[in-house]
């Protein structure tokens, strides 16, 4: 770490072994933890023991800040953000904590004095992979920014025992391995059994009259489990503050008195424990919702109920009455996975706290807001009615009541328009009755937001059009952002150091205002040289890692062309492959062709049940096998699939990338956030007018962005006219040649028909219009190749990309949430 931005910070208690930041204090603290926390002799300590001792040492230094957040949470004048998300993809904590506390260099020196290397200790950390992709990582960036801005926040989610599977590549295919991330313990979390909650499931409801003669409803569940919170402090960069990530683990309740109920039935008691613990056992690894999986609905309800009970507890501790709950909390629903919170808050207020329905509803609407994360119709959550009522009978009644009152209002506004009412209804009556979770969230929220301008616009015009018609003021856009702390300072210390030398370090926390100050340096040849040197070193680092992980050698001088993200047809990794095959064919035809050398680097997980996505991984591997070995290609093209793309690997990949592939079919990617991480690290983008690409292009300038492809309108138009993908195949020789080569089995000699399902789908349906966009993509890639030959110009554009990324910091996003949605004044 060469930059002093990640260097030492002086503290008052410099040499205090519990709090001090001097090298001596840190060293002493590590040794103390080896002894007192782990009962190890230093000579016997394993690398993991040292890692844990260091983690405790760092954690001690964060606890000094905890008191400030506790004060803010206890202060009835401060509104708290409750961020409800089924996923938080935090990434490793240690490195991030070190840069936040400003003790990176001193820790490195302290561990060196103990004969250890900090990089080895950092490598020990199993990353908490409690998310699938963008949605979970967004929640993590938002926790970082909330802390950085001094906003009191609690992130509520599930402490999955098994996170996203770890991906191995065997013979080119994805193989999933369970992620036992808690195997060696987790030094970052604090177990808080005293804050446990109980959560009910199943059973039935009963009506009764209370002592005041009012009709009340009692839920008699047939299963009760316990939620136990584990808190992880989220450090605020160089600030005396933290955020709290509160994740819930499910357990059996002790109060279910097994002695009394089943005397001596030990096995039944153990069974109960197993079943209760199942709820938080495993993250669903699909990037589309699990239709009809009881356990998934149970997970959603479980964490949301715990979270709301916890918030009510905090509110009451503040000494306030429940009718002011919305003054204490702003609750954000990260997509519809936590949307059952709407019915649960109503149940808690009305059934458990005896509140009038209309008062409870006013509070509910004031508390909640909803972020939509997708327009894909197959990704919109629905739960079938019989199934839902089996697990949550009381919530179904509540949803019926919410819907009844809502539709009455709709009918008052649009008398006689039955079709409007049925389109807006929370209950879908068509065929198998089901609950539309996006409608439940929209009815109950005072704000609904999309995650990029184009996404919010399409949301208002398509999926939630009718809601937009009746409640236009509820809709706002908050374009996503990512944290420059993890994605620049931590991942790309060389770039951070260069930036600090040029413009100081204020950009780290005031990214929007400060980063543009490097723009003039794009014209400074010396600065460009340094910039290239940073990229060159990062590329060499990634090339070494790729060699270690895959055995492939890639030339550090080649253009690093990278596509890392979940594997999905709409993201069109196979369009990228068609480009590779096109270049391969050109070389085969003319082996002396002067071509810009490229390394194509892919990474990403496929949902275990998504056969086509898995076939795309195999396609990349198979094409790589042939291309990488072909003597005619002679190293000018390399294709690698980097296994197990996760946060840790991302931190090595983004800083080394030169070309960022953001090539989804227009209208399909809600925002994208990888696009921002690449650009902040100096990669140029080749992309469609989709998600946040549109705004990135506006920000960096159209001349500094490689745009191609059909627009949303052109796509709709083409569907309207009748899209015939085969025509493109027939009329385009290059495309035909690429597809025919795949059909011929050239890349899969062991199984020539392997890719037929994929190719047939392209030729006959092509739901994501690869063939329609193919030629535009190839032409654009040819421009990329030509541009790369002018390194001075390329570097200039790279610098301007970074300089103009100001608005894509998650700090800006969180400021917008504070202002437009949460009605909250933040400190910073």
Least distance to ligand F58, CB of residue 81, Å: 17
Of 407 and 670, the one with the shorter C-beta distance to ligand F58 is 670
In this complex, which beta carbon is closest to ligand F58, that of residue 288 or of residue 537? 288
Q: Which of 229, 672, 682, 725 binds ligand F58 (CB under 6 A)?
A: 672
Which residue lies nearer to ligand F58 by CB, 100 or 434?
434
Applying CB under 6 A, which of residues 128, 129, 134, 493 lies at the interface with ligand F58? 134
Identify the residue among 364, 576, 673, 681 touching ligand F58 (CB under 6 A).
Answer: 673
Is residue 277 within 8 Å of residue 251, measured between CB atoms? yes
Cα-to-chain-centroid distance, residue 772: 30
Q: Is 20 in the site for ligand F58 (CB under 6 A)?
A: no
User: Strands 173-177 and 166-170: what pairing?
Assistant: antiparallel
Nearest to ligand F58 of 134, 150 (CB atom): 134
- Sites for ligand F58 among residues 405-464 (CB under 6 A): 451
Residue in 268, 362, 285 with CA at minimum distance from that of residue 322? 362
Span interacting with ligand F58, options 39-47, 133-141, 183-191, 244-252, rule CB under 6 A: 133-141
639 has which bridge partners?
600
Nearest C-alpha neighbor of 393 from the set 201, 198, 207 = 201
State in angstroms the smallest separation of the CB of 449 from ligand F58.
Answer: 10
Number of H helices, E strands in the chain: 34, 23
Among 617, 657, 670, 818, binds ligand F58 (CB under 6 A): 670
Stretch that binds ligand F58, among 51-59, 153-161, 284-292, 320-328 (CB under 6 A): 284-292
Q: How far is the CB of 287 from ligand F58 (least distance, A)?
A: 4
Which stretch, 40-48, 281-289, 300-308, 745-753, contacts ligand F58 (CB under 6 A)? 281-289
To the nearest whole angstrom, how small is the minimum distance from the Cβ of residue 660 to ligand F58? 14
Contact 515, 802 (CB under 8 A): yes
> What is the nearest approach in angstroms of ligand F58 to the Cβ of residue 453?
13
Report the nearest approach of ligand F58 to the CB of residue 765 (Å).
Answer: 22
Measure the CA–CA gap between 218 and 221, rounded to whole angstroms.
9
CB of 84 to ligand F58, least distance (A): 13
Radius of gyration of the chain (CA): 27
Choose one: 223-231, 666-674, 703-711, 817-825; the region binding ligand F58 (CB under 6 A).
666-674
Q: 709-728: which residues touch ligand F58 (CB under 6 A)?
A: none
The 8-class DSSP code of residue 24 comes to: H
Q: State which residue, 27 or 455, has the beta carbon closest to ligand F58.
A: 455
Q: By CB neighbour count within 10 A (0-12 exposed, 13-18 middle, 19+ buried), where does 416 fall?
A: exposed
Helices 47-74 and 94-101 pack at an angle, to 10 degrees, of 60
Among 671, 681, 693, 795, binds ligand F58 (CB under 6 A): 671
Find out whether 703 and 678 touch, Cβ atoms under 8 Å. Answer: no
Q: How many residues bind ligand F58 (CB under 6 A)?
A: 20
Q: Which is nearer to ligand F58, 276 or 673 (CB)?
A: 673
Give yes or no for a contact between 13 and 505, defined as CB atoms under 8 angstroms apart: no
Count of positions (residues) in the chain? 828
Least Å distance between CB 62 and ligand F58?
A: 27
CA distance 92 to 127: 5
Site string (259-278) toward ligand F58, x via CB under 6 A: --------------------
Cα–Cα distance list, 265 to 251, 270, 276 (Å): 19, 9, 17
CA distance 558 to 609: 35
How big is the CA angle at 535 (ends 531 and 537), to the nearest 5 degrees?
Answer: 115
The three-class DSSP label of residue 398 is: helix
Binding piece for ligand F58, criterion CB under 6 A, among 155-163, 192-200, 372-380, 623-631? 372-380
Q: Which is nearer to ligand F58, 584 or 808 (CB)?
A: 808
* Site residues (CB under 6 A) for ligand F58, limited to 135-164: 135, 138
- Contact residue for ligand F58 among 288, 514, 632, 782 (CB under 6 A): 288
Q: Which stretch binds ligand F58 (CB under 6 A): 206-214, 587-595, 669-677, 705-713?
A: 669-677
Backbone angles phi, psi at 736, to 5 degrees: -60, -40
59 near 100, Cβ under 8 Å?
no
201 phi and psi, to 5 degrees? -140, 150
Helices (H), 134-230: 134-148
- How far is Cα 663 from Cα 709, in angstroms, rounded to an integer? 8
CB of 807 to ligand F58, least distance (A): 15
At closest approach, how far in Å is the CB of 286 from ligand F58? 6
Q: How far is the CB of 15 from ligand F58 (least distance, A)?
A: 44
Separation between Cα atoms, residue 785 and residue 780, nearest integer Å: 9
Stretch that binds ligand F58, among 94-102, 127-135, 155-163, 501-509 (CB under 6 A): 127-135
Report the relative pairing of strands 153-158 and 80-84 from DSSP bridges: parallel
The residues, any chain, with a CB within 8 Å of residue 423's CB and separated by 6 or more, are 466
> Which of 133, 187, 235, 493 lies at the binding interface for ligand F58 (CB under 6 A)?
133
Q: Do residues 578 and 774 make contact, with C-beta atoms less than 8 angstroms apart?
A: yes
CB of 612 to ligand F58, least distance (A): 17
Q: How far is the CB of 133 from ligand F58 (least distance, A)?
A: 4
Min dist. Cβ of residue 241 to ligand F58 (A): 25
- Per-position x/- string for 480-509, each x denoting binding to ligand F58 as judged by CB under 6 A, each - no binding: x-----------------------------
Closest separation in Å from C-beta 679 to ligand F58 = 14
Write down the least CB distance from residue 379 to ligand F58, Å.
6
If the CB atoms of residues 289 and 493 are measured against ligand F58, the closer one turns out to be: 289
DSSP 3-state of 667: coil
Contact range with ligand F58 by CB under 6 A, out of 146-154, 407-415, 665-673, 815-823: 665-673
Distance separating alpha carbons of residues 799 and 493, to the nearest angstrom: 16
Residues paired with residue 706 on neighbouring β-strands, in sequence order:
686
* Of 163-171, 282-290, 555-563, 719-727: span binding ligand F58 (CB under 6 A): 282-290
User: Based on CB atoms, which residue is closest to ligand F58, 136 or 725?
Assistant: 136
Phi, psi for 415 (deg, rounded to 5): -60, 135
- Asked if 684 and 707 touch (Cβ cutoff 8 Å), the reply is no
Contact status: 691 vs ligand F58 (CB under 6 A): yes
Check residue 289 for interaction with ligand F58 (CB under 6 A): yes
DSSP, collapsed to helix, strand or coil, labels residue 205 as strand
Beta bridge partners of 245: 155, 232
Contact criterion met (CB below 8 Å) for 598 and 587: no
Among 179, 272, 661, 669, indicate the residue that binds ligand F58 (CB under 6 A): 669
Identify the residue among 373, 434, 665, 809 touching ligand F58 (CB under 6 A): 373
Q: How far apart are CA 762 and CA 743, in angstroms?
A: 12
| Residue 282 DSSP one-character state | B
Question: Nearest residue to ligand F58, using CB?
Answer: 134
Sole binder of ligand F58 in the list 127, 287, 344, 500 (CB under 6 A): 287
Closest of 823, 821, 819, 818 to residue 146, by C-alpha: 818
Stretch binding ligand F58 (CB under 6 A), from 272-280, 360-368, 543-551, 670-678: 670-678
Binding site residues, ligand F58, CB under 6 A: 132-135, 138, 286-289, 373-374, 379, 451, 480, 669-673, 691
């Amino acid at each position: 770490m060469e930059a002093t931005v990640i260097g030492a910070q002086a503290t008052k208690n410099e040499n205090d072994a519990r709090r001090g930041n001097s090298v001596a204090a840190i060293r002493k603290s590590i040794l103390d933890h080896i002894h007192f926390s782990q009962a190890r002799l230093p000579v016997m300590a394993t690398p993991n023991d040292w890692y844990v001792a260091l983690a405790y040492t760092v954690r001690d230094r964060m606890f000094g800040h905890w008191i400030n957040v506790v004060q803010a949470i206890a202060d009835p004048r401060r509104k708290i953000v409750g961020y409800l998300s089924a996923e938080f993809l935090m990434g490793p904590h240690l490195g991030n904590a070190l840069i936040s506390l400003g003790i990176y260099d001193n820790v490195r020196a302290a561990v060196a004095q103990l004969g250890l290397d900090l990089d080895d200790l950092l490598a020990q950390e199993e990353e908490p992979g409690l998310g699938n992709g963008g949605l979970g990582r967004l929640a993590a960036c938002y926790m970082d920014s909330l802390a950085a801005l001094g906003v009191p926040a609690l992130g509520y989610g599930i402490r999955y025992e098994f996170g996203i599977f770890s991906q191995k590549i065997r013979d080119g295919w994805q193989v999933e391995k369970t992620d036992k991330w808690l195997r060696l313990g987790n030094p970052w979390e604090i177990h808080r059994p005293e804050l446990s909650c109980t959560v009910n499931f199943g059973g039935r409801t009963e009506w009764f009259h209370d002592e005041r003669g009012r009709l009340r409803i009692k839920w008699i569940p047939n299963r009760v489990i316990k939620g136990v919170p584990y808190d992880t402090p989220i450090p605020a960069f160089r600030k005396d503050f933290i955020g709290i990530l509160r994740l819930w683990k499910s357990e059996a309740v002790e109060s279910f008195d097994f002695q009394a109920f089943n005397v001596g039935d030990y096995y039944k008691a153990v069974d109960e424990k197993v079943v209760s613990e199942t709820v938080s056992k495993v993250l669903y690894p699909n990037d589309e919702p699990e239709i009809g999986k009881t356990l998934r609905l149970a997970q959603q309800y479980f964490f949301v109920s715990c979270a709301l009970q916890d918030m009510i507890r905090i509110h009451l501790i503040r000494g306030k009455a429940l009718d002011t709950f919305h003054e204490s909390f702003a609750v954000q629903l990260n997509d519809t996975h936590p949307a059952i919170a709407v019915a649960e808050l109503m149940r808690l207020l009305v059934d458990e706290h005896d509140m009038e329905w209309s008062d409870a509803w006013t509070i509910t609407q004031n508390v909640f807001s909803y972020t939509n994360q997708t327009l894909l119709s197959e990704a919109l959550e629905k739960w079938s009615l019989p199934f839902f009522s089996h697990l949550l009978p009381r919530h179904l009644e509540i949803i019926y009541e919410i819907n009844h009152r809502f539709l009455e209002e709709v009918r008052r506004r649009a008398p006689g328009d039955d079709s409007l009412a049925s389109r807006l209804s929370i209950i879908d009556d068509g065929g198998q009755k089901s609950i539309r979770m996006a409608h439940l969230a929209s009815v109950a929220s005072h704000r609904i937001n999309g995650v990029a301008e184009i996404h919010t616009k399409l949301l208002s015009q398509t999926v939630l059009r009718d809601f937009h018609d009746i409640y236009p003021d509820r809709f706002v856009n908050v374009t996503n952002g990512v944290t420059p702390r993890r994605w620049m300072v931590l991942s790309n210390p060389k770039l951070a150091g260069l930036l600090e030398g040029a413009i100081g370090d204020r950009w780290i926390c005031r990214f929007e205002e400060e980063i543009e100050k490097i723009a003039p340096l794009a014209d400074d040849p010396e600065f460009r040289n340094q910039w290239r040197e940073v990229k060159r070193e990062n590329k060499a680092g990634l090339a070494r890692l790729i060699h270690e992980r895959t055995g492939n050698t890639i030339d550090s001088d080649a253009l690093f062309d990278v596509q890392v993200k979940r594997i999905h047809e709409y993201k069109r990794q196979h369009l990228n492959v068609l480009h590779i095959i096109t270049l391969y064919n050109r070389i085969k035809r003319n082996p002396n062709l002067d071509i810009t050398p490229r390394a194509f680097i892919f990474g990403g997980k496929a949902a275990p049940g998504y056969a086509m996505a898995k076939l795309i991984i195999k396609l990349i591997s198979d094409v790589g096998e042939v291309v990488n070995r072909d003597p005619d290609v002679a190293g000018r093209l390399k294709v690698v699939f980097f296994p197990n793309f996760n946060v840790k690997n991302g931190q090595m990949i983004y800083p080394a990338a030169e070309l960022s592939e953001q090539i989804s079919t227009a209208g399909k990617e809600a925002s994208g956030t990888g696009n921002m991480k690449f650009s902040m690290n100096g990669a140029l983008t080749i992309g469609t007018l989709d998600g946040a690409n549109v705004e990135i292009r506006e920000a960096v300038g159209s001349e500094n962005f490689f745009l191609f492809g059909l627009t949303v309108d052109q796509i709709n138009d083409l569907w309207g006219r009748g899209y015939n993908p085969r025509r493109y195949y027939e009329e385009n020789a290059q495309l035909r040649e690429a597809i025919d080569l795949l059909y011929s089995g050239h890349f899969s000699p062991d199984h020539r028909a392997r890719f037929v399902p994929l190719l047939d789908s392209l030729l006959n349906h092509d739901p994501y219009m690869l063939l329609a966009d193919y030629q535009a993509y190839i032409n654009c890639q040819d421009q990329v190749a030509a541009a790369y030959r002018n390194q001075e110009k390329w570097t200039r554009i790279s610098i301007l990309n970074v300089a103009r990324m100001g608005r894509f910091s998650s700090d800006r996003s969180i400021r917008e949430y504070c202002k437009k949605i949460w009605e909250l004044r933040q400190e910073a």
